[in-house]
Amino acid sequence: MPDNSYIALLVGVAAAITWLLRALPFAGLAPMRNSELVKYLGLHMPLGVMVMLLIYTLRPGVAAGGLDVLWLGIAVLVTAGLHWWRAQALLSIVAGTAVYVVLMTLW
């Protein structure tokens, strides 16, 4: 069994590497904070990511066909409607997911 100093050294090295890997992106982004590209990506990237997640999520249900498409459509409309009305992402996501699960379970 390894002695305590060896284990402490391993934990210290692992902690240092973890800290460096987490700090590296921030250190790399610091000079680019005033870049027009970073501002553009910060403005448009969230919408692009959400569209990609939507496509990835809806693709299997649409491919299955049948009532799955109807349930997906209703859940998407509930999610979008709640988000438009209340502007609370958590509420709209939870409600849309609940509607989809209930519809899939009942039919």
Per-residue pLDDT tens digits for 15-58: 999 999 999 988 887 788 888 888 888 888 888 888 888 899 88
**CA dist., res. 72 & res. 95, Å (int):** 13
- The confidence band for 1, taking pLDDT boundaries of 50, 70 and 90, is low
pTM recorded for the entire structure: 0.56
Backbone angles phi, psi at 6, to 5 degrees: -65, -45
**In this structure, are residues 78 and 96 in contact, taking their beta carbons and an 8 Å threshold?**
yes
Say yes or no to pLDDT of 96 above 80: yes
- Name, in order, each residue with C-beta under 8 angstroms of 72's C-beta and a sequence gap of 6 or more: 58, 61, 62, 100
**CA dist., res. 75 & res. 83, Å (int):** 12
CB atoms within 10 A of CB 68: 18
- Name, in order, each residue with C-beta under 8 angstroms of 74's C-beta and a sequence gap of 6 or more: 99, 100, 103
Say yes or no to pLDDT of 2 above 80: no
**Across residues 75-101, what is the average pLDDT?**
92
For the chain, give every domain's residue range: 1-33, 36-106
pLDDT, tens digit (0-9, with 9 covering 90-100), for 56-80: 988 888 888 888 889 999 999 999 9
**In this structure, are residues 95 and 82 in contact, taking their beta carbons and an 8 Å threshold?**
yes
pLDDT at position 12 is 97
